[in-house]
């Protein structure tokens, strides 16, 4: 787990970029405080920050390898972990290759020499890497199937810069001629979705290599991504009486994944909330580490903490448990720092408690497991029940639906049945765009001055829906979430916020073997018996404590709706809005009016809850103050951690 930075120059003048790369590396030292280094030839400069997890004394990067006739032909920078590296080493050794280290990094470059670009098909893990072939003078960039690890890039007349964090590329702007202008389309997508969708960033000149993609480029050439992984769902009917065999397959796949995710030369812990996902991971991890330590977080407000349930789960599975309770004051003070770590804002308040529990975990371990991805793979979001609840509308003729939709539009806000009527008469492609739904276009156009109708969420979701036309409704929603919410919010915060604390987070659900089982589940084994993730719950019955099996998902909830209306955060939010220099983007008066309307609603019990909309705007304003205005300067701790824990 590390931070990489590099440039493939257009003119073969790489030596002049050695100092700019070295100068930019410290801004992502948190990703790899154990060691750093650079390497270059005439075409390429690689920089690296290492967090040592496997083969601590060796596997230094940038890593050189080659066959006997050209022993330094390839150079590698790699962020992530390859969990099946032991098996790959054995396979490649049997093919006649010699390894110089005992780590996982070398399997990538040896595999690239052996399989070419097809190496990505053999890797089971999370990764973003660059391989430079000095003989053929070409660069190979790749990202893992689900997008667990990030990879940013920018192409200018000087060449192509790429890195684990956008801020390191921004640091090289003056030496590369990088375009620093804002991408207003991306701003609207962020405001609509609460995150910046791939491959965009808020800077016009910087893009992201998408999840499940790779690219081969040459000096002066473009980055042309090729998709190698499509997470297609192929539901397969399960004959009556054979369900138990399927549940065993799920349990076996997850147990195998957790076993491989426990591979490390340092201590591995686990996050633990009150739900089935993290509890299953922790219970399975305990089988491989009897001294497993788990970590959770919460708030001192009823209904916004899973601390008690998590503690009960920890006791049931027999692990030591650590709790971090976050105060409103700690919450507000940490937000600018967290947004700096993010590179682009993500309007998810759960980022903040995650930051604190990650910091707490880093005092005890260097790696944690977590339950991200279970909802997208096994059908865990409550909204996935919607196709079933709206099924009666499928039998209504289209002309009648149009009339009913108009009736819904004129019904007063808050009238019972209005939402059901509108959603039931709206095609899925228009009504569902993931878990982050805050602004409708009317609200957006009042708040966002740069809004354009053609830039709404459908610009992002339409191509994804086109690729899933043959899926059932729930599978279409899952497929959409894999390309939007999961990689735009869930995995961004998982990577950026844990790495902010020099902590490696691993996600065993997002494993190719687990997905191969999950993708075959029919609808009635996802949404069934009044619950979600039905097949997963059945598969985990002998692993997860009974009090968790059918418990409703809560996660790390944040009482932001109450705090923005009360003494905890109202004045803080108002100050952020009033001091922001974003008048060319946001209508300040409308945002302030929304804040006051929200306060009245929460204090009287009547009116709209604007908390998600407000948080979306506030997070952007803080980001703008840091990265555009250069007005907000978060204090980033210069922490030192031991190499091994």
What secondary structure, in 3-state letters, does 341-376 show? Answer: HHCCCCCCCCHHHHHHHHHHHHCCCCEEECCCCHHH
pLDDT tens string 468-507: 999 999 999 999 999 999 999 999 999 999 999 999 999 9
Task: Note whether 444 and 437 are within 8 A (CB).
Answer: no
Gap between the Cα atoms of 434 and 430, Å rounded: 11
Task: Note whether 434 and 193 are within 8 A (CB).
Answer: yes
Task: Note whether 150 and 199 are within 8 A (CB).
Answer: no
At 80 the pLDDT is 96
Computed on alpha carbons and rounded to an integer, the radius of gyration of the chain in Å comes to 24
DSSP result, 112-153? HHHHGGGGGGT--EEEEEEEEETTTTEEEEEE-TT--S--EE
At 442 the pLDDT is 86
Task: Note whether 304 and 298 are within 8 A (CB).
Answer: yes
Residues forming the annotated binding site for ATP?
370-371
| Contacts with 120 (C-beta within 8 Å, 6 or more apart), sequence order | 142, 214, 228, 229
Task: Note whether 28 and 2 are within 8 A (CB).
Answer: no
At 440 the pLDDT is 81
Q: Output the CA angle 229-346-360, nearest 5 degrees.
A: 95
Q: Give the pair of three-digit tokens for residue 254.
A: 């997850």
Task: Note whether 209 and 141 are within 8 A (CB).
Answer: yes
Gap between the Cα atoms of 611 and 564, Å rounded: 7
Q: What is the pTM of this model?
A: 0.95
**Residue among 100, 124, 97 nearest 111 (CA):** 97
Q: Give the pair of three-digit tokens for residue 290.
A: 């009897």
Residue 553: its H or E element: none
Distance of CA 162 to the CA centre of its chain: 19
Residue numbers of the chain with a pLDDT score lower than 70: 1, 56, 303-305, 414, 552-556, 640-645
At 57 the pLDDT is 73
Query: Which is it for strands 152-156 and 159-163: parallel, antiparallel or unpaired?
Result: antiparallel
At 551 the pLDDT is 75
**Residue 256 CB neighbours (<10 A):** 16
Task: Note whether 32 and 501 are within 8 A (CB).
Answer: no
Q: Which residues pair with 338 in a beta bridge?
A: none
Task: Note whether 467 and 477 are within 8 A (CB).
Answer: no
Task: Note whether 573 and 559 are within 8 A (CB).
Answer: no
Task: Note whether 403 and 411 are within 8 A (CB).
Answer: no
Gap between the Cα atoms of 82 and 213, Å rounded: 17
Backbone phi, then psi, for 38, in 5-degree steps? -130, 160
pLDDT tens string 163-193: 999 999 999 999 999 999 999 999 999 999 9
Gap between the Cα atoms of 349 and 616, Å rounded: 9
Backbone phi, then psi, for 92, in 5-degree steps? -75, -35
Gap between the Cα atoms of 545 and 317, Å rounded: 7
Backbone phi, then psi, for 109, in 5-degree steps? -70, -35
Gap between the Cα atoms of 39 and 62, Å rounded: 6
Task: Note whether 283 and 290 are within 8 A (CB).
Answer: no
Residues forming the annotated binding site for L-glutamine?
104
Task: Note whether 286 and 317 are within 8 A (CB).
Answer: yes
At 550 the pLDDT is 79
The owner of tokens 């339409």 is 462
Backbone phi, then psi, for 488, in 5-degree steps? -90, -30
**Residue 334 CB neighbours (<10 A):** 18
Q: Give the pair of three-digit tokens for residue 15.
A: 């030596």
Q: Which residues are catalytic?
A: 2
At 556 the pLDDT is 62
At 438 the pLDDT is 79
At 43 the pLDDT is 98
At 236 the pLDDT is 93
The torsion region of residue 59 among left (phi > 0), alpha (psi -120 to 50) and beta comes to left
């Amino acid at each position: 787990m590390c931070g990489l930075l590099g440039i493939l120059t257009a003119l073969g003048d790489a030596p002049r970029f050695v100092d700019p790369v070295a100068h930019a590396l410290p801004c992502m030292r948190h990703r790899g405080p154990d060691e750093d280094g650079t390497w270059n030839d005439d075409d390429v400069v690689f920089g690296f920050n290492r967090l040592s997890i496997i083969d601590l004394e060796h596997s230094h990067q940038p890593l050189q390898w080659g066959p006997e006739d050209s022993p330094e032909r390839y150079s590698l920078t790699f962020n992530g972990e390859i969990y099946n590296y032991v098996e790959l080493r054995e396979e490649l050794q049997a093919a006649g290759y010699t390894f110089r280290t005992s780590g996982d990094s070398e399997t990538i470059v040896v595999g690239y020499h052996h399989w070419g670009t097809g190496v990505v098909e053999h890797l089971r893990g999370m990764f973003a890497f660059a391989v430079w072939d000095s003989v053929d003078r070409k660069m190979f960039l790749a990202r893992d199937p689900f997008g667990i690890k990030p990879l940013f890039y920018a192409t200018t007349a000087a060449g192509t810069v790429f890195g684990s964090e956008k801020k390191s590329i921004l640091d090289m702007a003056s030496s590369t001629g990088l375009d620093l202008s804002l991408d207003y389309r991306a701003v609207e997508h962020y405001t609509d979705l609460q995150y910046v969708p791939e491959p965009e960033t808020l800077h016009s000149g910087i893009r992201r290599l998408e999840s499940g993609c790779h690219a081969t480029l040459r000096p002066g050439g473009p980055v042309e991504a090729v998709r190698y992984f499509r997470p297609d769902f192929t539901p397969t009917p399960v004959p009556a009486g054979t369900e138990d065999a399927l549940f065993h397959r799920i349990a076996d796949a997850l147990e195998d994944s957790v076993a491989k995710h426990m591979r490390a030369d340092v201590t591995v812990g686990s996050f633990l909330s009150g739900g089935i996902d993290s509890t299953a991971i922790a219970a399975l991890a305990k089988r491989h580490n009897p001294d497993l330590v788990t970590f959770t977080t919460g708030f001192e407000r009823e209904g916004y903490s899973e601390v008690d349930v998590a503690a009960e789960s920890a006791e049931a599975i027999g692990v030591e448990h650590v709790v971090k309770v976050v105060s409103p004051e700690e919450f507000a003070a940490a937000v600018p720092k967290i947004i700096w770590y993010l590179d682009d804002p993500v309007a998810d308040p759960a980022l903040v408690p995650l930051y604190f529990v990650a910091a707490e975990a880093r005092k005890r371990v260097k790696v944690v497991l977590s339950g991200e991805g279970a909802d997208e793979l096994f059908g865990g979001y409550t909204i996935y029940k919607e196709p079933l609840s709206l099924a009666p509308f499928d039998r209504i003729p289209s002309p009648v639906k149009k009339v009913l939709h108009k009736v819904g539009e004129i019904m007063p806000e808050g009238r019972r049945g209005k939402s059901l009527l509108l959603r039931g008469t709206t095609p899925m492609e228009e009504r569902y765009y993931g878990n982050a739904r805050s602004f409708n276009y009317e609200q957006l156009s009042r708040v966002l001055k740069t809004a354009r109708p053609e830039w709404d969420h459908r610009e992002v979701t339409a191509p994804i829906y086109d690729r899933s036309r043959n899926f059932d409704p729930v599978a279409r929603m899952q497929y959409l979430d894999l390309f939007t919410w999961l990689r735009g919010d869930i995995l961004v915060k998982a990577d950026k916020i844990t790495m902010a604390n020099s902590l490696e987070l691993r996600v065993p659900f997002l494993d190719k073997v687990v997905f191969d089982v999950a993708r075959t589940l029919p609808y009635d084994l996802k949404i069934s018996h009044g619950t979600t993730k039905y097949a997963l719950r059945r598969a985990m019955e002998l692993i997860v404590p009974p009090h968790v099996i059918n418990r409703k998902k809560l996660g790390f909830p944040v009482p932001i709706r109450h705090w923005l209306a009360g003494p905890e955060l109202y004045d803080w939010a108002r100050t952020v809005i009033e001091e922001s220099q974003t008048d060319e983007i946001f209508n300040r008066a409308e945002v302030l009016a929304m804040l006051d309307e929200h306060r009245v609603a929460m204090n009287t019990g009547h009116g709209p809850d604007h908390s998600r909309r407000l948080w979306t705007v506030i997070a952007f304003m803080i980001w703008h103050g840091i990265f555009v205005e250069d007005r907000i300067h978060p204090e980033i701790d210069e922490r030192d951690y031991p190499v091994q824990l």
